[in-house]
Structure formats: structure tokens, C-alpha cells
Structure 1
């Protein structure tokens, strides 16, 4: 409940800014605005803070991944092969640790709001006009707030196409799958984007049979070709059946199975289906029509480089504006929006050059240009590679699958792109990112710097020497 209320005429509360949503984007905006001296209120539909990221997205799915990754590691080590009947666990049992992490995150973020004197309202937000936000609970109107500015950071949800009954106990989306409470032996994953690939590696790690249906000709085509190919090879080697260029015709559901009918004529039977084909912005019922804002067909909002909508005092950030739909980017987008709103100066650069973090098993992370892009742009580049199987630290841990790939300019030695596939890739990438974004961007940093041994960071030195050997 709010700690302080500034009552104005007509029992309205008055704030400088109201932020809708307490996920990464909403928190980033709220903290920046509060530290800039603004009186800020935040409205979230859940009883607890953190948004979808904390409760049904990033935190629980990555905690699940960590548990599965640990199981795989134990099974790989002869000393721990009798770890128990883990294959009989349900999703809820595997996620027990995740629920502890969720509560820890809620407590942590709640303290942030307390320290910055941000008032929190729990309920459904409705924009009555460009300076009025109403908050509703299940029992009706609870608060009426007058404000000078609004930030929409309501996030997104899994896209639900017509014709699929997501109320059926064997039809799941990426939110509902976390509540799976019965054992399955085979699962269909429809959609081979980031979420689909992550869950494919999780389920195959739990010993399930997995059919991964990809509507595109290859997995994650925006990645460097070599990294995309490595992911495909690894998933297939683990047992995932990948079906490219397929489209759903219809789904048949039964009490103990589902049958997916494809437009190609294929029929696939499984215990359950996980739908991972797109997301929709959470803009339904916000009252955007009252201020002249129209979301696109996926419920997403259009903003300019300052994260400002077509209404001058209303801003938006995070998944509700679409790409790249990453928690890390959402937080920075929220901060940028808050800076633009508080300073009045429209000179803060939008969030760009974002490292990808894909939490398959093993991980994928990259930043900068791919080989395809550099070739199309006719930039003279060279490649430096380091295979994890040759690194002492990887041999010690057993995580020998993967590689680090550095793309650099042949003449200037400037780093143009970094691509990593392997355990802890999302951590490893930041070493290269720091050098790449420094004023003295050069691969020479990696041969002139001493790395601890044995470490995975050593991959940068190995990859750089490998690339320099190709110069002539």
C-alpha cells in the first residue's frame, strides 16, 4: 500500500509521474525519475512487485534452466550418476528453488521503491485522460491519480492465436508451462525463437522427447551463421527433432494427448504442446483510446528515440514497445525515458548495441556484426576462434561444448563482432563488450593483457592469436 498520499480536490492523488508496470522498464524509469526529484507513483496489477520478468519470465525460467543444467552436469560425472529418479520430477518440483529466488527478488526490489520514496499501488491501471490514471481492484475503483507524465511499461504476454484452447490442461504457453504438475514423456514446442529453443534444451535435459517446430528455414537466423548452426547441431545431438519451414493447420486435443496437424500433411502426437510463437503487448484495457494512442496488431506501442509516444507527456519502454524484448534492454530503456522526461533535454541516445543473451543449454551471447553483415557491407574482416574443448578450465568443469569467435578489421584490428556459444556465454561476452566499447577498441588488448589461468576468459587470448595468424 502507498506510504504517503497527497490529497487534492475531489479526493484525487497528485504525482509528477505515474509508471504503469513494475518490471525492469518500469523500475528503471521510476528510479531515474525519483532520483531526479520527481514525485513518482507506480501501479502494478500483481500483488507483488517485479512484473512478468520476476514472476513468469526471466527469473523462473532461468532458475529452471540452472536446475536442469546441474542435473546434466551430475549425470555427466561418473561420481554422481546415481543422483536419483530425477526424471520423474514434475515442473513444480524442479521449480521449488525458483520460487525462493522470486521472493528474494520481490523483497529486493520492494526495498528499492522504499528507499526512493516511490508509492506503490496494486491494481489495474486505466488511463482516463492524459493527466489522470485510475486504479481498479477486483472490487472496483480504489484510487484516482492526477499526474503530469505517464510511463507505460506494462510488458508483454505470450501470443494466443485463435483456434487454440489454452484452458486445456495439455496446451501451454511460456507462462503456463511453469505450472505443469504432471509427468510428460514427449512434448511439442511450436515456435523456435529464443523461448522455444531455451525450453527445447531444458526439456531434452530432463530426458523428454522433444519436437521443435520452426516456422522459419533455420534457427535464430539473426545470429551469426556458425553459432546458429552450432545450436542446431547440439540440439539434434541431444535428441531434439527440429522441423523447419512448418506451419500449423490445427490442433486436436484429448484427455491424455495432443495431435498437431501441419499444413505440410504431417501429424505429430505428444503428451503436451508448448506454444512459443510470438508475444503481445499488454495494452488491452489501458484506456489508450482515451488519449489517441493506437497499438499495432500485436498490442505494441510506437515511440520515438526519446521513448515518447505520439502523446507528448506519455512515454513507453520495455516489451510493450517490441524489439528487442530483453530484460536488460528494458531497464535501460526505462532509464533513458526517465532521463528525457526529467531533464527536458531530448539528447539521450536510445538503447542500442545490446548483447544478446540466449539461455539455452549451453548459452549463446553475441554483440556487434555477424559475418553475413560484414560480408554484405564489404568490410575487410578476419576471424579469430577459440574452441572450448581446448581450454583447461572447460576441461576441468566438463563444459567443453562451445566456442568464442571474434570478428575484427584486418587493417585497424578494431573488434567488429563477438559471438559465443557455450557455458556462461552470457557472462563471457561482457569482457569483449567492454573492450569493444572502449576508445582504444583493438584485439591487441587480449594479447597484451594477462588473464588468470585457468579461466574461460583465456578464450579471448586464444581467439585473438588464432585470428592474427591469419593476417599476412
Structure 2
């Protein structure tokens, strides 16, 4: 029987374990932080649960346009009613849902016959994993294949050290029980933008410090422009081209000093400075596993490392830090090792989403690739402001953008900006994955009225491009 040992119980690890078990491998997962990893316990699941509350607040803030008056009876002597959030209850729910999700995954693993060892794993050569158990003892586990899925941790700076109370990483925000009076978010990438957008919707004044010239520098420029316009219109202060020098705390005040000498004071600060791989003290050198200059494990498109029968998946590889990509890397690794049918990872088919308000979803090629001549494609951008369902729901911001190859008309990418863009991107993702043409996408029936109607309309406008 093939013996598989997986270090790390996040999406890359537990999905790999399920595949290996399905293919009748003898599977052991060595995990120290909780099944589900940071994606379930401290990152993706918690943040999107928080954002779910923020979405409700955003809808309430615009409900007057739909004829809903939350101010109370204007003719009465009573004080105007107001909607407030209870951060302690929100975060209690966040942590409860994360724990429940972790429990569900652990039960699934157990049901599939996967053995889970609670301890910290490290390699001792390419075919042995040593698990250090909570009582300090060690267990040596022999393997025919090893998968490293240890994830990554929030990056900090010597001049900006989190204290877990006022200066926070994105993993520490769920201990807050009172709303910040002024939140400073440092970093305008996906994580920073999501938290800044969410807390703004909860009614908290937010200052976003961005070292680049715009929010979300790695995303579609048109989409980022819409988001920044919306956030500033809602009251967020965005400090572009502003690099943090330090973050310090004095009492209940956090001061973020910028490299140009300016200072920003707030009650709390979230550091969203990127991630560093959890690859230290793993014994990688004992197995001859190569890492890059940043410490990420080098892998090929079927998740192989430089050591025979040692694979790696997820954020520790730095390939694309998405839970969906980690899970696919883990599955691919086990399909490959167990001799099952497998296709190499294709990042050109990965759909992703930024859970801001509005959301930004993307798949396939980018505007930058088209503009740079890497892909010969035509493009169309269709604003959601003309969509009948959007008008009914009071949605004014957002668009659908599609790219298709000239001549063949094959859809090679798309961007959706708007409410639930994470759901709307799916038909575009299918078109990209299956090499459908814009005409084929356009000819599929859509419901009227619906937001998805704009995807079909954009596809129709690409006819003969």
C-alpha cells in the first residue's frame, strides 16, 4: 500500500489527503494548527464571515433608494432609530463558524480513514517525517510520498510589530470586542482592501495606506479604479504613494509614520504587508528540497519539488495564494503520485475574487497582457448601470469586461465588478476553461432580468471582433 504523509492540514493538505485516501493510499496528516489551516481558522473563512455582515450594512446604507426608511417616524418625538453593529457578537460568530468548518473537515478525514497526528512535522530525509507531539515526544513516520502544505504567515516589520490589541495582523482582528474609533490599514493589496472595505461598511472611519499609486495594484486597473472611487465616495481616506516607516502604540493611540515624515493617528492598525512561507525548521535541506530567495518551495506544475516523491502545495509554494489553488495543487500531487489521470496546473484558468464592496472577480488573461501584446484579443467593457436588474437593486457601480481572441472569437478572460461578482464570474470561467467562443457564450439563455444578462450582452458585442 502507498504510504502518504502530509505535513499541514490546510486546503492543500486535507484535499490531498482525501484524494490519496480515495485512491486507497494509507494517509497520515501531521498538523499543528488545526484542520483547515489558516484558510479556515484565521484567514479566508473568518474574513468572509466578517464581510458577510459588512455586506448587510452596505445594503442598509443604500436602502433609502429602494424606498426603505430606517430613520423612524419623522412625526414622532422619538429619537431617530439607528443601525449599529456589535463587533463582539460578529467576531464570536466568526470564530464559531471557523471552528465548525474545521470540525466538519476533520470528521470527513476520519470518515475516509485518514489518520491525523496532532504535532509539528519535519522531514528527516525525503521519505521520513518526524512529528513532534504536544508532550514533546517524537513519532517517526515512514512514507512513499510526502506532501508539504505548511502555508504562510502574515509578514511584519521590525518597526511595526503587532501587539494583538491595537497593532494587528489580519489573523488577530477577531479578538476585538469594541469597534475601533479610527482604523488604519497598511497595505492596499487584496487583504488590505478587503478589510478596509469591510470595516468602512461597519461604520468605522478608515485610512488606507498604499505604497502604490492606486488600490489593488495587482488587479485590473479599470476594476481598481471603480473600487477606489466607491471607497472614497463612502468616506475612506486613501493615502497613495505612501510607504509606512513604522507603527507604534502609545496608550490607546497607534501612530503610523510614513517615510515622507507624515504621521497618521488611529485607535487601531491592521498590517496587511503580504505573507512569508512557513518553511523554516522543516528539514527541507535533509531531503534536498530547493526554495527560492524568499523561502518558498519550488514546485513544477504537478506539485513536485526537487526531491523524488516529495510534493508541495499551497501558500508555502508562493504559486498563487488562493485556497482553491492550494486545494488543486494538493489534488494534482496525489493524482500524479498514485498514477491517476492528471492535468498540470493551469493558472490561466484560475478564477479569483476580491471580496470588497463592490466585489472584483477575474479569470484568464488580463488587460495588461492584451495591452502588452502578449495575447491578440479584442475586449468589451459593459457598465452595469444599464442592466435592468442592477437598476432595480440600486446598483450603480460595476461592469463586465470580456476578452476574446481575434479571428477565432474564443473567450480567453474576463473581469466582473459588482455585487456577488464571485458568483457572476462562473459562466466566464466555464467559457475560458472549455475554450468557448463569445458567440457560444452569448447564445446561452440568461434569465431576464438578471445581472448575468450583462455577460451575455458583452459576449454579443464581441461578435466579429
Q: When the two structures are superposed, what TM-score results if normalisation uses the length of structure 1?
A: 0.90
1:32 aligns with 2:19: yes
Q: 1:76 maps to which residue?
A: 62
1:186 aligns with 2:186: no
Q: CA deviation at 1:442?
A: 1.0
1:165 aligns with 2:161: yes
Say if 2:184 and 2:207, in contact at 8 Å, map to a contact too: yes
- Aligned residues: CA RMSD: 2.3
Structure 1, unmatched stretches of 5+, are 1-13
Worse overlay, 198-207 or 121-130: 121-130
Say if 2:403 and 2:411, in contact at 8 Å, map to a contact too: yes
Give, in whole Å, the separation in 2 of the partners of 1:373 and 1:264.
Answer: 34
Of 134, 138, 148, 1:138 maps to 134
Count matched residues.
Answer: 453
The superposition leaves residues 8-56 of structure 1 with CA deviations (integer Å, 9 ceiling, x where unpaired) of: xxxxxx971110111111122111211222111011113x421111100
Structure 2, unmatched stretches of 5+, are 73-80
Give, in whole Å, the separation in 2 of the partners of 1:340 and 1:378.
Answer: 31
Q: 2:450 maps to which residue?
A: 455
Closer, same or farther in 2 for the Cα pair 1:21/1:168, shift >3 Å?
closer
Q: Secondary structure at the match of 2:334?
A: helix
Q: CA deviation at 1:206?
A: 1.2
1:208 aligns with 2:204: yes
Give, in whole Å, the separation in 2 of the partners of 1:348 and 1:435.
Answer: 18
1:71-470, aligned counterparts within 5 Å?
Answer: 71-78=57-64, 79=68, 81=70, 86-87=83-84, 89-90=86-87, 92-167=88-163, 169-293=165-289, 295-343=291-339, 348-353=343-348, 354-377=350-373, 381-439=377-435, 441-468=436-463
Of 45, 55, 74, 2:32 maps to 45
Q: CA deviation at 1:123?
A: 1.5
Closer, same or farther in 2 for the Cα pair 1:153/1:379, shift >3 Å?
closer
Worse overlay, 361-370 or 292-301: 292-301
The superposition leaves residues 128-185 of structure 1 with CA deviations (integer Å, 9 ceiling, x where unpaired) of: 3322222223321153212122100011110122232312521100101122223311
Q: When the two structures are superposed, what TM-score results if normalisation uses the length of structure 2?
A: 0.91
Worse overlay, 165-174 or 148-157: 165-174
Q: CA deviation at 1:80?
A: 6.1
Say if 2:161 and 2:247, in contact at 8 Å, map to a contact too: no
Closer, same or farther in 2 for the Cα pair 1:411/1:240, shift >3 Å?
same
The superposition leaves residues 223-261 of structure 1 with CA deviations (integer Å, 9 ceiling, x where unpaired) of: 222112112212211222222222222223111111111
Give, in whole Å, the separation in 2 of the partners of 1:169 and 1:222.
Answer: 30
Q: CA deviation at 1:121?
A: 1.0
